[in-house]
Amino acid sequence: MRIERENPARTDEVVGTVAVADADAVDAAVRRARSAQAAWADTDLAHRAELLRQGVARLREHLEELAELTARETGKVLADARGEAGFAATVLGFYADRGEALLTDGGYDDQRGRMVVRHRPFGVVAAVTPWNAPLILTMLKLAPALVAGNAVVVKPSPLAPFGVSRLLELVATGLPEGLVQVVHGGAETASALVAHPGVDRVAFTGGDAAGRAIAGLAARALTPSVLELGGNDPAVLLDDVELGEAAMERLVMATFATSGQVCMAVKRLYVHRSRLDEAVDAFCAAADRVLRLGDPLHAGSSAGPVVSGASAERVEGLVDEARAAGASVLPLGVVDPDTDLSRGYYVRPTLVLGAAEESRIVAEEQFGPTLPVLAFDSVEEVVSRANAGELGLGASVWSADEDRAFDVARRLEAGFAFVNTHNRTGMALHAPFGGVKRSGWGREYGDEGLMEYVQPCVVHAPAVFRAGAAGLAANAYPG
């Protein structure tokens, strides 16, 4: 059985096909990874890091190839895909450089006794990755896992198999044979991988439903997991917000990059009532400047299609439902005149005004190119509304007063709160990222992202039991 992937920008074009891995193929991949892992873990940390830095160089030599593959299979515009490929290489280099500082044995040998704290790899990591940012979301699992001494088996989304496969091939060159494996397929392949008894750690990024299934399988096998799930991110514009061109363009792209198909994109825009009309005008003007819906491979396109026909139907349904309930819908940006929108899954970006708080377009993660705008009257009110719901991935506060913005941001139930920006322009390699509430557990990025892939193991000799020491009673608690 094979997966055939179409280009969502030109659905009559097949990007390629890959073979589906059945349970036997998954088993073989995990066994190959396990056989390679022990020697890799015993390899000197500095040498592991150097081999991975060589992978960084190979990725940079093939950025354009990776970018075009990603653009064609996902609909991500080429400029963004190029940036993603470059950032994936940066992440690999970051973790290669951080390994020695974080993973060297710690401990003490003094009047307290002797203790060694070792950071041991789990073994085989199963990484199940999504289609919307396939290169970077794969690398955020692959890089720290490899630096830490693990082997990795990756199951990419069937909607984005090709860029990930090529990325893994480039990184694996020069590494022990079998250390990095890839298995393709849908839910059955993912289930076979996550439930495999040879898997020691599971890392997943994706939606809520798939996350619950993955977490359930891992839990039944007592396999620890890292989950980064969805978000319904609020952006809060306080009454003193600066609505200049640069800020508004940042806000527009934080919402509509990758056609809004980003877990940490702005999904709800709350504006102080005194600035509502002004903010809507400024947002629409910025969108007209920076949003150009078109073929991802065309120069100047900043928004492409959504990933599938089902996604287009779902997003358009949310907008139509809001309109039918009395909301007004404003189209945003311009359309590339050289793109035939009928060939792909194109959805015009929109701003939705006047939707009710309980409407689906507000209460649910849209994961597409539409944004509801809602007015608020007080900070207490907007904090309560922003914190409503089960998700808590990202949020942002926009204000001319940074201290005030921080005060409000601290009250938002989000794993990552941005100030005067949102989405990728607010990220930092050293800042841990992940969700609270039902948006997952564990962290990526930062030192925390590396420590997710090791287990602290201790060897301890208390000083009280050294020769000539006083000792402790056999039933004593430590002092």
Q: How many CB atoms lie within 10 A of CB 121?
A: 23
Active site residue 444: yes
Active site residue 316: no
Strands 124-128 and 151-155, how do they pair? Answer: parallel
165 near 135, Cβ under 8 Å? Answer: no
| Predicted local distance difference test score (pLDDT) of residue 128 | 98
| Predicted local distance difference test score (pLDDT) of residue 333 | 98
Contacts with 10 (C-beta within 8 Å, 6 or more apart), sequence order: 295, 343, 344
Active site residue 73: no
Strands (DSSP E) found in 354-444: 370-376, 391-392, 394-398, 416-419, 436-437, 440-441
| Predicted local distance difference test score (pLDDT) of residue 198 | 98
**pLDDT, the chain, mean:** 97
Q: Which of 263, 284, 365, 413 is catalytic?
A: 263
333 near 288, Cβ under 8 Å? Answer: yes
State phi, psi for 303 to the nearest 5 degrees: -145, 135
Q: Which of 220, 216, 223 is nearest to 199 (CA)?
A: 223
Look up residue 348 and give its amino acid.
R
Helix H segments across 291-376?
A: 309-324, 360-363
| Predicted local distance difference test score (pLDDT) of residue 201 | 98
The Cα–Cα gap between 22 and 184 comes to 9
Q: Six-digit token pair at 316?
A: 């358009």
Per-residue DSSP letter, 75: -
Question: Which of helix, strand or coil describes residue 111?
Answer: coil
The Cα–Cα gap between 438 and 433 comes to 15
Q: Which of 84, 228, 365, 413 is catalytic?
A: 228
Contacts with 41 (C-beta within 8 Å, 6 or more apart), sequence order: 120, 121, 149, 150
Q: Six-digit token pair at 376?
A: 């608020």
Convert the pLDDT of each residue in 382-410 to its tens digit. 999 999 999 999 999 999 999 999 999 99
The Cα–Cα gap between 399 and 271 comes to 11
Strands 391-392 and 113-121, how do they pair? Answer: unpaired
Q: How far is CA 59 from CA 65, 69, 117, 180, in A?
A: 10, 14, 34, 15
Q: Which of 141, 155, 267, 284 is catalytic?
A: 141
The Cα–Cα gap between 51 and 19 comes to 29
The Cα–Cα gap between 205 and 190 comes to 12
The Cα–Cα gap between 178 and 172 comes to 9
Convert the pLDDT of each residue in 73-84 to its tens digit. 999 999 999 999
| Predicted local distance difference test score (pLDDT) of residue 479 | 76
| Predicted local distance difference test score (pLDDT) of residue 257 | 97
The Cα–Cα gap between 363 and 467 comes to 66
Give me the sign of the Cα torsion angle 290, 295, 300, 302.
Answer: positive
pLDDT average per 10 residues of sequence, the chain (479 residues): 96 98 98 98 97 98 98 98 98 97 96 97 98 98 98 98 98 97 98 98 95 97 97 98 98 98 98 98 98 97 98 98 98 98 98 98 98 98 97 98 98 98 97 97 98 98 93 89
